[in-house]
Amino acid sequence: MISTSLARQLRDAGLRWKPLSGDRFQIDRPELDADVFTISDLMIEPHEYSTGTVLGFNGTTEWALDSVDVTDALWLPREDQLRDLLRTAFVRLEREQELYRVVLAPEAADDDSEDAGGAERVYESVSAPEAYGLALLAVLEKVSA
């Protein structure tokens, strides 16, 4: 799972979320950072209204919560979702000892520096989802630049 910090960076860089069953999220408040929720057809369902999406909590949970606006939720995309979001920019995932490396095509996150030279871009972390997230963040930042 990606870190809360990286999830915030991705959201701030423009990543948008349409909640689906199986998605994980946190309520974006410091006192709730340790709680991770999963969209489920039985417990937590997204409800679409003309004013926006609300995540409805059905039944009983650890504490009383009826619903939360999707803008107050922080999506924690899974590894497969992050890879899918990279689309054709993704070249491969490598693992060397304790590190995972996500390799992107040269044009995917080219920083336009003189030493860029058309080389593949590599983003690494101790977890594969975090490496995918870092790579996606670079792509989103390039798009918004």
pLDDT recorded at residue 110 = 56
pLDDT of residue 60: 53
What does pLDDT average to over the chain? 86
What average pLDDT does this structure show over 81-106?
A: 96
The separation between CA 137 and the C-alpha centre of its own chain, rounded to angstroms, equals: 9
E-only strand ranges, 1-145? 24-27, 37-38, 44-49, 52-57, 67-69, 73-75, 90-96, 99-104, 121-125
- Residue type for position 115: D
CB atoms within 10 A of CB 55: 21
Which residue did the predictor score with more confidence, 119 or 78? 78
Identify the structural domains of the chain with CATH numbers, from first to last.
18-75 (no CATH), 79-144 (3.30.160)
Note the pLDDT of residue 68.
Answer: 77
Inform me whether the pLDDT recorded for 22 exceeds 70: yes
pLDDT of residue 12: 96
Task: Answer yes or no: is pLDDT of 92 > 90.
Answer: yes
pTM of the model: 0.81
| Tens-digit pLDDT profile for residues 41-69 | 667 778 888 888 888 776 655 555 666 78
What is the average pLDDT across 72-87? 96
pLDDT tens-digit map of 109-134: 655 544 455 789 999 999 999 999 99
User: What are the CA-CA distances from residue 103 to residues 33, 63, 112, 132, 143 (Å)?
Assistant: 30, 42, 17, 9, 18
DSSP notation for 69-109: EGGGEEE---HHHHHHHHGGGEEEEEEETTEEEEEE-TTTS
